[in-house]
Homo-oligomer: A and B are copies of this chain.
C-alpha cells in the first residue's frame, strides 16, 4: 500500500521541505519534491499544511487518567499517600486497559505517536496500545512493594518474552531509589550487567529524595546507581530536577539520558530541572508528560512550552533554550531515549510516524518560523492528523483505533465508579 501525501511543508532534519511524503506500508519511501510518474494507491492533498515527525512522550503512566483532576492543590506527601496510592491499590487489569485507551485518545489528539509507560501492571497497557496501533515502550516499575521477594530476573525475563509487535517494546524499569532496597538494586544490577540492558528509573525528582539518599548511603542517587553498576549499560533517568556535584558529569560519562517532565515538576512544586546545563554537557534529553495525576494533561505541546518557560526563569535569560532544540527534543531525542531511533526523524526508510498540523490557524499565524509556531503557539486544536506506523489513527476529530470512542468513555466511567466503591 502506497500513500502519497502531497502539497505539504515537511519539517525534516531541521529544514522545511515543500513537497510530498510517500509512505510505503509503514515506512517513509520519499520526502521531497513530487516524483514524476510515482504510483500510489492513495492520494492525500494536505493543502499546504505542515508535517512534523510527531511527538514522543518519553515518560508517562498512561492508566493514571482515572486520577486526573482528583485531589489537586494539595502538598505532595498528602497528595501521594492519602489520595493517589489508595486509589491505585484498587485498580484492576481490565480497568487499566480502558484508562489506557482513554490516554491514547488524548495522545493522538495532541500529536503523540509513541509513549513510554512505567507501571506496576503492564499487560493491559500493552494490549490496549497494540490493539489501537499506538506505540509504547513499556517497563515494570520494580520496587520492594511490588516485587516482594520474587525473582526479579524472572519478572524481567517474562516481560521481554511478552507480546512483541510493531507497537510494543519492553525495557528494564526501577521505580526509584527510595522505594527499592539495596538488596533488590544489587539483584537488578546483576541482571542488567548480564543482559546488557539499560535501566529506566525516576531519579532526583525532589530535593528531599536526594537528601534522604545521601543520609542512607552517603551519596546521591546518581552516584549510588553508578557505584552499584546499574548504569553500566547506560540508562535513562526521569525528572533529574536536583542533580548535585558531579551528577551530570556521571550521567554523561555513563551514557545515561534524561527525561524532563516540566508540568509534573511545576504541579508538585518539585522545582525546575537544569536542562540547559544538561544540554551543554551533551546529555540527551527527552520530554515526558508523566501521568495524568501529576499533570492533568497528556499534551506534549504543553510540556514543550513549559520547558521553555522554566528554563527562562531558572536562568533569568529569555534566550536560555531555542524552539528548534525543544522541537527536536520532543520528536527526535525522545525517540532515541526510548531506544526507538527509527521513529525519530522524517526521512527515507524511517517509520511513518508523523503529524499534520494547520498553521493557518488564528493562534499560530504568522508561522514563518515553524519551530517557534509549533513550540510556542501550537496546541491540540492545530492537529489535523496523526499517523502511526503508516496508518491514520486520528483525523479532524475522528479516531481510527479499532474501538468505539463512546464505549471507551462508558467503560472508563463504569470502571471509576467501581474503583470508588471498592476503596
User: Which A residues form the contact surface with B (CB < 8 A)?
Assistant: 65-66, 68-70, 72-76, 79, 102-103, 105-106, 109-110, 263, 266-269, 271-272, 296-299, 302, 305-306, 308-310, 312-313, 315-323, 360, 362-369, 372-373, 376-377, 379-381, 409, 412-413, 416
Which residue of chain B has the shortest Cβ distance to A306 in the bound complex? B309
Pairwise interchain contact A412-B380, C-beta atoms closer than 8 A = no
- Taking CB atoms, residues of chain B closer than 8 Å to A266 are 308-310, 312-313
Pairwise interchain contact A296-B365, C-beta atoms closer than 8 A = no
Which residue of chain B has the shortest Cβ distance to A76 in the bound complex? B318
Bound CA–CA A313/B272 (angstroms): 8
Which residue of chain B has the shortest Cβ distance to A268 in the bound complex? B318
Pairwise interchain contact B376-A379, C-beta atoms closer than 8 A = no
Pairwise interchain contact A366-B106, C-beta atoms closer than 8 A = no
Most buried by B among A72, A76, A315, A320: A72
| Pairs across A and B, CB under 8 Å, 13 listed | A68-B365, A69-B376, A73-B318, A102-B362, A106-B362, A263-B309, A266-B309, A268-B318, A365-B409, A365-B412, A366-B416, A379-B379, A380-B381
Smallest CB–CB gap between A259 and chain B, Å? Answer: 19
The 8 closest A-B pairs by CB, nearest first: A105-B362, A296-B376, A266-B309, A106-B362, A69-B372, A269-B312, A381-B381, A269-B318
Identify which of B73, B299, B364, B379 contacts A69 (C-beta below 8 A): B364
Pairwise interchain contact B69-A366, C-beta atoms closer than 8 A = yes
- Taking CB atoms, residues of chain B closer than 8 Å to A310 are 266, 313
Check A312/B362 contact, CB under 8 A, given A69-B372, A369-B72.
no
Check A381/B109 contact, CB under 8 A, given A296-B372, A320-B269.
yes
Check A297/B72 contact, CB under 8 A, given A313-B271, A416-B366.
no
Most buried by B among A74, A106, A363, A376: A363
Smallest CB–CB gap between A194 and chain B, Å? Answer: 40
Check A363/B377 contact, CB under 8 A, given A74-B319, A312-B267, A316-B269.
no
Bound CA–CA A367/B69 (angstroms): 6
- Taking CB atoms, residues of chain B closer than 8 Å to A263 are 309
Bound CA–CA A385/B68 (angstroms): 24
Most buried by B among A70, A316, A377: A377
Pairwise interchain contact B109-A363, C-beta atoms closer than 8 A = yes
Which residue of chain B has the shortest Cβ distance to A369 in the bound complex? B69
Identify which of B70, B317, B372 contacts A269 (C-beta below 8 A): B317
Bound CA–CA A105/B412 (angstroms): 34
Which residue of chain B has the shortest Cβ distance to A381 in the bound complex? B381
Check A323/B373 contact, CB under 8 A, given A79-B318, A267-B309, A309-B309.
no
Bound CA–CA A289/B381 (angstroms): 18
Bound CA–CA A50/B18 (angstroms): 42
- Taking CB atoms, residues of chain B closer than 8 Å to A73 are 318-319, 321-323, 372
- Taking CB atoms, residues of chain B closer than 8 Å to A364 are 68-69
Smallest CB–CB gap between A271 and chain B, Å? Answer: 7
Bound CA–CA A415/B244 (angstroms): 52
Check A379/B381 contact, CB under 8 A, given A72-B323, A266-B313.
yes
Most buried by B among A322, A376, A413: A376
Most buried by B among A69, A102, A379: A69
Check A69/B272 contact, CB under 8 A, given A79-B318, A362-B109, A376-B296.
no
Pairwise interchain contact B318-A369, C-beta atoms closer than 8 A = no
Smallest CB–CB gap between A221 and chain B, Å? Answer: 20
- Taking CB atoms, residues of chain B closer than 8 Å to A109 are 362-363, 381
